[in-house]
Amino acid sequence: AQSVTQLDSQVPVFEEAPVELRCNYSSSVSVYLFWYVQYPNQGLQLLLKYLSGSTLVKSINGFEAEFNKSQTSFHLRKPSVHISDTAEYFCAVSKNSGNTPLVFGKGTRLSVIA
Amino acid sequence: GAVVSQHPSRVICKSGTSVKIECRSLDFQATTMFWYRQFPKQSLMLMATSNEGSKATYEQGVEKDKFLINHASLTLSTLTVTSAHPEDSSFYICSVTGGSYEQYFGPGTRLTVT
């Protein structure tokens, strides 16, 4: 079975400051790793994913995450946040095969302060 | 990616009544659909896995007679909460997959049982 730990439930940060949202996972099998973003009263949107290959993955809106196998981590970073980045961020894992459900962390609420 | 809709987006019902939630994959042949439940300020928890044309597989602790899932076609799955009680109030989210790692999420349905 897989599990995901997001150590920070809330992260306040000033606009244009850098941010890191931490995610650690455990699994006895190889996994795929994901970050999802959820805006209030909306469903989840895929932010970025790691399947294989380069351990650094990037999204179109400036977020990036790095897969670290030895530390079993997949931390999310952004060098300069915007007010519009305020949302709930979920780290998730699945077994590296198709049709498998996601196991989510508890989420981190990112609040960007003007 | 696939477009997934859920109907209704919000529903309020009285205790003891049943509520049906629809999940539609508008442009995607969804061989598998997942139903998740999200309590306020908490993560998504998998309730059941639904494969088209077969019975759903429920997670431990989820009552199959209370949460009836039907996946009659490749584009539609329904979740019926029978004899709803206030503790069933939650945000219900479906996701669809066509056999790969990629999951596409619906916008969610907020159920409030009074």
Give the pLDDT means over successive 10-residue stretches in chain A (114 positions): 92 97 92 91 87 91 95 97 96 83 93 96
Contacts of B42 in chain A (CB under 8 A): 106-107
pLDDT the model gives residue B89: 95
Instruction: Judge contact between A8 and A22, C-beta under 8 A.
Output: yes
For residue A31, the chain B residue with the least C-alpha distance is B101
Specify which residues A24 forms β-bridges with.
A5, A73
Nearest partner of B105 among B43, B24, B42, judged by Cα: B24
Q: What residues pair up with B21 in beta bridges, in sequence order?
A: B79
Which tens digits make up the pLDDT trace of B46-101? 999 998 888 899 999 999 999 999 988 889 999 999 999 999 999 999 999 876 77
B58 token code pair:
């429920």
Q: What is the pLDDT of residue B99?
A: 67
Is residue A98 within 8 Å of residue B100, measured between CB atoms?
Answer: yes
**In this complex, do A45 and B105 lie within 8 Å of one another by their Cβ atoms?**
yes
